[in-house]
Amino acid sequence: MTPAQASVNLNGNTLTVSGPIDPLTVVALRKEGEALILSSKADLVVDLADMSTAHSVVLSLLLCWQRLARGRSQALNFTGVSQRLGSLAALSGLDEQLPGFPSQAPLQAPRENQHQS
C-alpha cells in the first residue's frame, strides 16, 4: 500500500488540503496552493478536514497562503480544522489570525481565574 501524499486541489471556491504535511512536503504544497489561489478571483474556503497532520509547518503554509490572498483582496476562510491544529494555532497565538479557526479564549478564562485564587 502506497502512503498517502499531501495534496491541494481547487474545486469551485473550495481549496481542499489532504494527506500528511511535513517539512519535506510543505514547500511543494505551498507552491501548488499559491498557483491555485492565483488562478481564482473569488474568496476561497480552505477545507482542512482531510489533512492528516497538525504541525507548525502547516500553520506557516496557511499564513503564506493567507498573505498571498490578502495581497489580492481575496479572503480565505478555513474549515475542518482539527482540534490538534486548532490548539497548536492557539498556543502560537495564531488562532485569531486565521479566519475559521476555533478561538481558544473561552478555555483560557477559567485557568486565569484559578491563578487569582
Given a contact cutoff of 8 angstroms between Cβ atoms, the answer to whether 89 and 59 are in contact is: yes
Q: Note the pLDDT tens digit of each residue in 46-102.
A: 999 999 988 999 999 999 999 999 999 999 999 999 999 999 999 999 988 899 998
pTM: 0.83
Given a contact cutoff of 8 angstroms between Cβ atoms, the answer to whether 20 and 53 are in contact is: yes
Cell match 489532504: residue? 18
Give all domains of the chain, ordered by start, each with its CATH number: 7-116 (3.30.750.24)
For residue 106, pLDDT beyond 50: no
- The per-residue pLDDT of the chain, averaged, comes to 88
Q: Give the distance, in angstroms, between the CA of residue 2 and the centroid of all CA atoms in the same chain.
A: 25
Q: What is the DSSP string of 77-106?
A: EEES--HHHHHHHHHTT-GGGSTTSPP-HH
For residue 33, pLDDT beyond 50: yes
For residue 114, pLDDT beyond 80: no
Given a contact cutoff of 8 angstroms between Cβ atoms, the answer to whether 63 and 97 are in contact is: yes
Share of the chain above pLDDT 70, in %: 85
Q: Are strands 44-51 and 14-19 parallel, antiparallel or unpaired?
A: parallel
Rounded Cα distance between 101 and 112, Å, is: 22
Better pLDDT: 4 or 42: 42
